[in-house]
Amino acid sequence: MESFIQQMVNGISLGSIYALIALGYTMVYGIIKLINFAHGDIYMVGAFIGYGMIQNVGLGLIPAIVISMLLCALLGVVIEKIAYRPLRGATRIAALITAIGVSYLLQNLMIYFMGPERRAFPTALETRIFSFGSIQVNSQQIVIIVTTIVLMLALQVIVKFTTMGKAMRAVSTDQDAAQLMGINVDNVISFTFIMGSALAGAAGVLVGIYYNSIDPLMGVTPGLKAFVAAVFGGIGIIPGAMLGGYLIGIIETMVSAYGGSMFKDAVVYLILILILIVKPSGILGKNVKEKV
């Protein structure tokens, strides 16, 4: 039982990172119905920004997270305006192909400027172990969980209680009606990219201190798993992304801990296949009927 609880703690730590990335997927999809496959690479850029702030500038962890969030938010807005906004009226497949192209562009730009090698993330937090019987929680896990909860609560406050949050919900429900009511849809979409990219930037720094290593291709697999988490919880639904992220993190950790480390990734993708077959709308999603 104690071993099970220990793995649950590990799974929640990993799931926190997936949840932060999944929120970006689900917000963008909820607003403009775009699956932004470049989102995982924004998370990768966030990790490298955090690396530079800590290693080269000498900042602490919290300032590095804040700067990473700000610069990733700026990157998200630039990508939206240059790559996605001109395709607003195009088919979904055109936007999807563009997102994949942006993903490869970010990867190769980072390889060109930073090199392809994996590098150790600088120590930004003193490692301390807190024991509760035979259950151990380290300081990195505590920081990851607490930071994730704070950011998620802040996001919920913004979406539920601010004017821009109400505009986001209106655009998500009916973009044309929202525009007729005087809402600037372009500003709402840009703000959505700002929020999602900022959360991905924070996740990049957190994963750096969790795994102690980063590389230009580090966003591919976590990005796909975060997408699975968003679909699992109910894509387009913010609480669904949170729930899906934590569940995927826990499932992956449990599979790895009990002898399945070689096929833990396969289990995550199997979940995607099953959820699309059994309940395509996700755990918290509702089936919506469309008129022909």
259 phi/psi in degrees, rounded to 5: 95, 5
Q: Domain range holding 69?
A: 2-278
Q: How many domains does the chain have?
A: 1
- Distance CA(253)–CA(213), nearest Å, equals 19
Residue 24 lies in a domain: yes
Residue 203 lies in a domain: yes
Give the CATH number, domain containing residue 213.
1.10.3470
Whether the CB-CB separation of 249 and 11 falls below 8 Å is answered with: yes
Domain contains 285: no
Q: Is residue 292 part of a domain?
A: no
- Regions of the chain where pLDDT drops below 70: 1, 286-292
Q: What single-letter amino acid sits at 84?
A: Y
What is the DSSP code (8-state) at residue 121? P
Q: Is residue 117 part of a domain?
A: yes
In angstroms, the CA 81 to CA 69 distance is 18
pLDDT in tens, 228-249: 999 888 888 888 889 999 999 9
Domain annotation covers residue 286: no
- The predicted structure's pLDDT at residue 288: 54
Could you tell me the sign of the dihedral formed by the alpha carbons of 280, 282, 287, 292, in that order? negative
Res 292: pLDDT: 44
Output the CA angle 70-241-138, nearest 5 degrees: 70
**pLDDT, the chain, mean:** 88
Q: Is residue 156 part of a domain?
A: yes
DSSP designation for 57? I
pLDDT digits (tens, 9 = 90+) for 82-122: 999 998 878 888 888 999 999 999 999 999 999 899 999 88
In a domain, 149, yes or no: yes
d(CA 119, CA 139): 22
